Structure 1
Amino acid sequence: MATLSQLLAMPDLGLRLIQAGPGDPEISWSSITELLDLSSYLEGGEIIMTTGLALAPDDPRWRDFVASLSRAQVAAIGFGIGVNHDRVPQPLIAAASMYRVALFEIPLPVPFIAVSKAIAALIRADELRAARGALQAQQRLLDGARGGQRPAEVLASVAQATGRQLALVASDGAVLAATAGFAAANESGGTEHIALDRESSLRLAVAGDSPLTPEGHAVIAAGSMVLSLSLRGDSAEETRERERWERLTSTLLEGTGSPSSVAILAPSLELPSRVRAIAVQGRAEDVAAWRRRPRSGLDRLISPAAGHTGAPGLALAWQLCTDSEIALEQSLAVAASHDLDAVVGRPARLGEIPLSRRSAAARLRALSTTAPLYTAPRVPQTLWADRDTPLLEALLGMGGAGPAALPSAEASGLPAGAIDPRRVLSVRVLGPLSLHDPQLGEADRGLLRETLRAVFEADGQRGPAAAALGIHRNTLRDRLARIERLTARSLADADDRAELWLALRLENMEG
């Protein structure tokens, strides 16, 4: 920025400092006035020039004049002598000293327009210096891109040129590289994110509250382009890299590989303590597009489903995701953006990843095999192995605490203190059909439970079941549809039928 000392140092103007202000004020512009209060028209940093036409040398209003300019945070006051006053009035000097506003004298031969032109030249020269500095910074960034500059070096160069703190953030929220002060600046809020690719799999986070100049914006734009080019790389290399990660993911899902093998592909990548296996299913072209999207960090742990024989036109793939709310939310959002249904396996430690995969695979039958192909528009479906199949998952957790542990009685709608596992499980599976759920009346609940039991006793054959109940097949069909709606389970699904039957048996065992 142009400063007052630079203006005073111009020999052609002959300006003389009368009263110094705090430091060396930066100049934003200049203004000429004979008004007593100009503060409402100023933005700060201006040089205010006046001849004092409206005030006598001993007028007490000099103090108010300076006070208003102090509130407006002007850079300095320039007083022109020899027009209305032969010298700078003493009250003006005293007021400038009191409010710590810089004051300088403009001699008579020098017109105010000459001072204004000098200020404009200083500002223009400063802008040119800033533009040259930004251009040089951009050139260094582009030269570094040709020389294989690392992301951390790019971030450091941009930070030095802009005064901001920056980080490279992966699609799973992990910070891949950052400047030293980014963490502290990020905590104060106001961080902006710039997508480095169409899918936002890589983002440049810019933290800091100092205003950015146009040159600063240009440097950040150049840094973003360099990062995007250097990180995405060549298409063939991307394909080879993706295949390496997919092979690693397949071994982790099958339990034949070690999580420590991740260090071979990404030595600096920190592994989480718990992960979830996510199965994504949809049209083959949608799954292929999901696999091809640019990825970074742990988001690269994906794999096609080997030997998957689903419905024609459908494809299945897997992803390993950190067991955190943010990571799961981002992964599911990406799957949904590609119109893919998802099944989230239960949490597992790194050495037990196949358990999470098997829990998700067991719920795949609950996904529609026709909706992705024939329903449009549609909302992609998400199922959770540890939330949507509570009976089997809870039975797995009864031997020890863990992600499949039984829910609390209160969470299952039971009175406080009712911790009998059989009651908890029956409420979770049967819902309103449970003897412990007060939503339905006793007669209505008994009717539906009797209908469900009759279907089970008839081996699922609806004709014999309707005959045993003494009702029409259409009446039986309506009752079964209501049962499926109330329990959120399908009698066409073997796992759901098993859970309903076991839940009924558990309640019978209560006596």
Structure 2
Amino acid sequence: MLSLGALLSDRSLELRLLVSGTAGAVEREVLWVHSTELADPSPYLRAGEIVLTNGLWLRETSAADFAANVRRSGAAGIVFGLREVMPETPAELIEACRREDLPLAEISIAVPFTAVAEAASALQADERRDALVGMVRRGDALASAISHGAGASGVLAVLRREHELPLAVVDRMARPLASAGLDLSADQRRRVADGLARHPPPLEIDLGGTEGRATVFLVGAVGDTDAALLCLRPVTELTKPQQDALDQVARFLSLEVAKQQAIQAIELRFASELLDMILSGAQRAAEVPDRLRAFGVDPSGRLVVLTVAFGDGAESTLPGLSETIGEFFLGQGLAVVVAGGSQDVVAALQEPRQDVKELAEALCAVVRKRFPDRRPVVGLGDTAASVRELRQPLVQSREACQVLRRRQGGQAVASFRELGTHRLLLGLQDAGTLRGFADGVLGPLRQHDSTRDSELESTLRAFLAHDGQYGATAAALYVHVNTLRNRLARITELTGRDVARTEDRVDLYLALEADELAG
């Protein structure tokens, strides 16, 4: 590191310290050396530079004014070059530097200022070389840690061997990925996740409590900010080598996060495939036990299924819901298969010892805390006595969840048998039966729509969605009421069911619902 102390230690420069200045000033890093004989060099000096001078300015200004001008510029000190006509440093300059707390050194007549510049250049070159070598060695150690499966904790351990900094890694779901000397509370991790959700993310985050502010080094996987490397130091207190090391570690953490995301994506795909196997019935029943074992779930015992979604008009799940559910069950010591979709998240696990509904209510509370602006609901199916009977509980739990989603407020957790609704009856039917019923009722409408480019099926859906109100349906379809009546008459003619009769309207409505359930 280039400093006045480093130059003083070079005996070839024949430097002698006359004034040490403030505490630590001699060893503080300096920017460069600057030769000048101006009476007021402050407009041309940069903060942190060392002034090299022979004192020719003494013919124009006093030593006190010169020292004050140098101090005002933020310079790191003065090196006074002795000459044959001035073999000693002026006493007034020494006294002025003492008053200004400005380091002062003198250099012998035999050594030119160019030698000081060459020494400064060599020091900076050595520093850059050492930094580059250190970065390469650190990179090798980081790559080795990741390749050997050390994970994020192993990456932090590499950094801690060089810099004893309090560190933590938190992802955008507020999950702790690793820590070293810094244990964050759930509230602090939430502050970090909220910061990562901002655009752009902040450079520092106030953790609150006694910790104060932490510097943020972003960790990105596939173009997005997926996590943060936190250092419990304000950025102004971090040295340049420390910042460079933290930046490098954040890039390697991106590799680790990307790897974890790939693993999670594979697990999610396997879990989704498991749902397809269960719903396929006997066709793929033989594959289900092995897939359950892959997730640590014993297929030989009784199994339960829970389905989680958001109510109050929410049309989809949110990123992090599947992970939150999985972490909840793992925290309970229960192996689980979690499959996330666009509308709900399904969890299948071995029957727990505690009451399933109580477990579901605890899960609901955790999800509500994680997503405070949403209303989570949990649907439960019957317990499956064996893996071969898992299809019906799966259908039941999803249907119960859908019923809870559509209800405004009220019950958040309910089992299939607690709810009275036509969808539960439909859910007991297999996909083939549902498809046959739906096609039998709606087939003539679809054929008419495809050949005549009409909109009879969408008109029927809108009419039933608006509770049979002609005016509201016409407004929603942007047609005249007479046009709506003509379309409904055509629907009656094609299906043999009159939308004005309750019995026929029920058939039409159930056909649409069966069509949705059958996919």
Structure 1 residue 494: deviation in Å? 8.1
Q: Greater relative contact order: 1 or 2 (C-alpha under 8 angstroms, separation 6 or more)? A: 1
Q: Which residue of 2 aligns with 1:239?
A: 266
Alignment match, 2:228 = 204
Q: Describe how 1:366-405 pairs up with structure 2 within 5 A.
A: 385=405, 392-394=407-409, 396=411
Deviation at 1:139, TM superposition (A): 1.3
Write the distance in 2 (CA, Å) between the matches of 1:281 and 1:476: 28
Do residues 27 (structure 1) and 21 (structure 2) align?
Answer: no
Unaligned runs of 5+ in 1: 252-260, 266-274, 306-314, 330-343, 364-384, 398-454, 467-471, 478-492, 496-511
Contact 2:168-2:182 within 8 A present in 1 as well: no
Question: What is the CA–CA distance in structure 2 between the aligned matches of 1:324 and 1:73, rounded to whole Å?
Answer: 55
- Percent of aligned positions with the same letter in both sequences? 25
Listed as ranges, the matches of 1:46-195 within 5 Å are 46-56=49-59, 61-82=62-83, 85-161=86-162, 165-181=166-182, 183=184, 186=205, 187=207, 188=213, 190-195=215-220
Aligned residues: 341
Q: Please report how far the alpha carbon of residue 146 of structure 1 lies from its aligned counterpart in structure 2 after TM superposition.
A: 2.5
Query: 1:43 and 2:39 equivalent?
Result: no
Distance 1:52 1:128, change over 3 A: same
Q: Which amino acid in 1 is paired with 2:339?
A: S
Alpha-carbon offset, residue 325 of structure 1: 7.5
State the SS of the aligned residue for 1:43.
Answer: coil
Q: Distance in 2 between matches of 1:215 and 1:107?
A: 37
Superposed displacement of residue 233, structure 1: 6.3
Given that 2:67 and 2:97 are in contact with CA atoms closer than 8 Å, whether structure 1 keeps it comes out as yes
Unmatched 5+ stretches in structure 2: 189-203, 208-212, 279-292, 298-306, 328-336, 348-363, 382-393, 413-462, 475-479, 486-507, 511-519
Q: Does the CA-based 8 Å contact 2:309-2:401 persist in structure 1?
A: yes
- 1:271-290: per-residue Cα shift (whole Å, max 9, x none)? xxxx96249979xxxx9xx9
Classify the secondary structure of the residue corresponding to 2:68: helix
Letter aligned with residue 323 of structure 1: V
What is the CA-CA distance between 1:30 and the residue it aligns to? 0.6
Contact 2:367 2:376 in 1 (8 A): no
CA–CA distance in 2 between the matches of 1:26 and 1:241? 52
Deviation at 1:73, TM superposition (A): 3.4
| Residues 72-471 of structure 1: pairs in structure 2 closer than 5 A | 72-82=73-83, 85-161=86-162, 165-181=166-182, 183=184, 186=205, 187=207, 188=213, 190-198=215-223, 200=225, 202-207=226-231, 208=233, 209-210=235-236, 213=240, 216-217=243-244, 220-221=247-248, 224-225=251-252, 228-229=255-256, 232=259, 239-240=266-267, 243=270, 277-278=309-310, 302-303=338-339, 317-318=344-345, 323=367, 327=371, 346=376, 361-362=402-403, 385=405, 392-394=407-409, 396=411, 460=468
Deviation at 1:65, TM superposition (A): 1.9
The answer as to whether partners of 1:16 and 1:104 remain within 8 angstroms in 2 is yes
Is the Cα–Cα contact under 8 Å of residues 170 and 176 in structure 1 kept in the other structure? yes
2: CA distance, partners of 1:90 / 1:234: 69
Question: Does structure 1 conserve the Cα–Cα contact (< 8 Å) formed by 2:155 and 2:249?
Answer: no
- Counterpart Cα distance in 2 of 1:324 and 1:160: 41
Retained in 2: the 8 A contact 1:165–1:181?
A: yes
What secondary structure is seen at the aligned counterpart in 1 of 2:88? coil
Q: Secondary structure at the match of 1:191?
A: strand
Residues 246 and 304 of structure 1 are in contact (CA less than 8 Å); yes or no, is this contact kept in structure 2? no
Letter of the aligned partner of 1:193 in structure 2?
L
Q: In 2, Cα distance between the equivalents of 1:100 and 1:169? A: 45
CA 1:172 to 1:163, structure 2 compared with 1: closer, same or farther past 3 Å? Answer: same
* 1:136–1:318 CA distance, 2 compared to 1 (3 A): same
Deviation per residue, 1:456-489 (Å, 9 max, x gap):
9xx94859x99xxxxx945999xxxxxxxxxxxx
The one-letter amino acid paired with 1:197 is V
Q: 2:308 touches 2:401 (CA, 8 Å); kept in 1?
A: no
Q: How far apart are the structure 1 equivalents of 2:183 and 2:41?
A: 41
Question: Counterparts of 2:77 and 2:34 in 1: how far apart (Å)?
Answer: 11
